[in-house]
Amino acid sequence: MKLFSITAVVAGLLASAAFAEPVAPSVVKYEDGVVMASLTGVAGDPVNGRDVFKNRKQGNCLACHVNAEMPEESFHGEVGPEMAGVADRWSVGELRGIVSNSKMMFEGTIMPAFYRDTGFDRPLEKFSGKTILTAQQVEDVVAYLRTLAE
Amino acid sequence: MMMTKTLLGAACLSVFALTVHAEEGAKLIIDGEELTIRANAPAHAENIDEVSSGWIYRSKETQALQLDDFDNPAFVFVDQAIDEWDKVDGSEGKACSSCHENVEDFAGLRPTLPRVDDGKLVSMENLVNECRTERMGAEPWKWSKGKMTSMTALIGVQSRGMPVNVAIDGDAAPFWDKGKELYYTRVGQLDMACSNCHEDNYDTMIRADHLSQGQINGFPTYRLKNAKLNSSHARFKGCMSNIRAEPYKEGGPEFQALELYLASRGQGLSVETPSVRN
């Protein structure tokens, strides 16, 4: 057990040495709601992105969006638009902007900002100063959304 | 965005988003008495046309539990309160029944609470605890614990079927204003206000939940989820935690103000206490 965690730490260190630090939430550049540059410089993994999309403790995007690509999931919310064809409607930069902070694109939206860590009123202690998703999870979910073409 | 989906056979893979919009004609009739589950919205709920009971949005099975008091699991707790009513407690050697002849005499109280007494906003829990501490010499009951929720259910059910009718002007106005502000303030890491779900999106599925207007005319409510009676403040707390916000204190000034504001948004709906929800 101990051995395993040490290996994990070492692997983590190697990974962060190999790649640049992710862009901090406060310095993400939005142009009309669009974020052109990758938050991590690492290509998004659509397979993990799919999991982030449905995971209740991560994106929980399925709470609000019907997603025809996940028929195996029983409950799809309908607060927001259906995800089918989202890749035809939005570019990578637009999707990155929408997921990172949708309020920059859709004023007054109910959709949470997944890559923002300040400006919240009364956040629960354990989430205070944190983003809902990590920079890489945002890239992963964006890569997954890009697969949803019709 | 309205979608009409039909539930296809199990063989079909696309069985998701079972869009179950509230049924128009459903009626809530208990013991031969029909309760008002839809009413024209009061003028002070300016963004909605109609107010509706949370009962409408529950599944058929959950709805059915509220149609008959023998099926309604909340009545186990109401019965416990009937026993408590006659129980002597505290230094004065008194029971509720020592001074209040019949609990039925509280008919008409539930729809008017919370209300302002001597400049203070009071909920039913405060009135009960005032009797316990000031008149019985007994310990106060905790806001959302079993003894309190059972007693507020027993007192509340005496007004079942009466229209919610809280005062929001005069002394009550500043409390109401504060409640309204809280209702529309975004909080938590998910950065949402009560209104984002319960006003902008009621009658919509949010994952497995069918969103209602978040009315409180049925409280305390028996929830299948925790198999007990729940105070309205406990429900507010749950909703705040779900959006990852630090909840206010149960019985504190913020939740009391919110209670008054929400009660006023249900003006005209019948008291449904004790209701059943999932």
Query: Are B108 and B195 contained in the same domain?
Result: no
Confidence of residue B19 (pLDDT cuts 50, 70, 90): low
In a domain, residue B34? The reply is no
pLDDT in tens, A77-89: 999 999 999 999 9
The CATH number assigned to the domain holding B264 equals 1.10.760.10
Q: Give me the pLDDT at residue B218, please.
A: 98
Would an 8 Å CB–CB cutoff place A129 in contact with chain B?
no
- Residue B147's H or E segment, with its range, is helix B146-157
Residue contact A130–B192, C-beta within 8 A: no
In a domain, residue A2? The reply is no
Number of Cβ pairs < 8 A linking chain A and chain B:
88
Nearest CA in chain A to B14: A71
Q: A78: Cβ–Cβ under 8 A, 6 or more apart, which residues?
A: A64, A65, A66, B1, B3, B17, B19, B204, B205
Instruction: Give the residue, B92 or B26, on which the prediction is more confident.
Output: B92
pLDDT in tens, B144-182: 999 999 999 999 999 999 999 999 999 999 999 999 999
Query: Are B108 and B145 contained in the same domain?
Result: yes
Mutant choice from A122, A130, A132 vs B, greatest count of B C-beta within 10 A: A122
Nearest CA in chain A to B242: A124
Mutant choice from A69, A111, A121, A126 vs B, greatest count of B C-beta within 10 A: A121
**Residue ranges making up the domain that contains B265:** 2-20+40-71+163-277
Rounded to whole angstroms, the Cα distance separating B132 from B141 reads 8
Select from A60, A71, A77 the Cβ nearest to the Cβ of B14: A71
In a domain, residue B32? The reply is no
Closest CA to B222 of B275, B273, B154: B275
In a domain, residue B25? The reply is no
Residues of chain B positioned with their CB less than 8 A from the CB of A120: 187-189, 191
Rounded to whole angstroms, the Cα distance separating B58 from B111 reads 23
Confidence of residue B15 (pLDDT cuts 50, 70, 90): very low
Q: Give me the pLDDT at residue B20, please.
A: 62
Query: Are B61 and B85 contained in the same domain?
Result: no
Query: Are B188 and B146 contained in the same domain?
Result: no
Query: Are B125 and B67 contained in the same domain?
Result: no
In a domain, residue B104? The reply is yes
In a domain, residue A121? The reply is yes
Query: Are B246 and B187 contained in the same domain?
Result: yes
pLDDT in tens, B213-264: 999 999 999 999 999 999 999 999 999 999 999 999 999 999 999 999 999 9
Query: Are B126 and B208 contained in the same domain?
Result: no
* pTM of this structure: 0.93
Query: Are B211 and B128 contained in the same domain?
Result: no
Would an 8 Å CB–CB cutoff place A4 in contact with chain B?
no
Number of domains in chain A: 1
Query: Are B183 and B249 contained in the same domain?
Result: yes
Residues of chain A positioned with their CB less than 8 A from the CB of B200: 110
Could you tell me the two tokens for A45? 């993994």
* Final residue before a domain boundary, out of B101, B126, B157: B157
Number of H helices and E strands in chain A, helices first, is: 5, 0
Q: Give me the pLDDT at residue B22, please.
A: 75
Query: Are B104 and B193 contained in the same domain?
Result: no
Query: Are B233 and B127 contained in the same domain?
Result: no
- Residue B38's H or E segment, with its range, is strand B38-40
In a domain, residue B241? The reply is yes
Select from A78, A120, A124 the Cβ nearest to the Cβ of B17: A78
Q: Which residues in chain A come in under a pLDDT of 70? A: 1-19
Number of domains in chain B: 2
Rounded to whole angstroms, the Cα distance separating A49 from A63 reads 15
Query: With pLDDT > 90 as the criterion, what percentage of chain B qualifies?
Result: 90
Select from B16, B201, B246 the Cβ nearest to the Cβ of A123: B246
Q: A134: Cβ–Cβ under 8 A, 6 or more apart, which residues?
A: A22
In a domain, residue B31? The reply is no
Residue B4 scores a pLDDT above 60: no
Rounded to whole angstroms, the Cα distance separating A108 from A98 reads 13
Would an 8 Å CB–CB cutoff place B195 in contact with chain A?
no
In a domain, residue B81? The reply is yes
In a domain, residue A11? The reply is no
Query: Are B133 and B193 contained in the same domain?
Result: no
Would an 8 Å CB–CB cutoff place B190 in contact with chain A?
yes
Q: Which residues, numbered 9 to 68 in chain A, qualify as contacts with chain B under a Cβ-Cβ cut-off of 8 Å? A: 56, 60, 62-64, 66, 68
Q: Give me the pLDDT at residue B239, please.
A: 98
Query: Is B131 among the catalytic positions?
Result: no
The CATH number assigned to the domain holding A42 equals 1.10.760.10
In a domain, residue A42? The reply is yes
Confidence of residue B24 (pLDDT cuts 50, 70, 90): confident
Q: Give me the pLDDT at residue A12, please.
A: 46
**Residue ranges making up the domain that contains A70:** 23-145
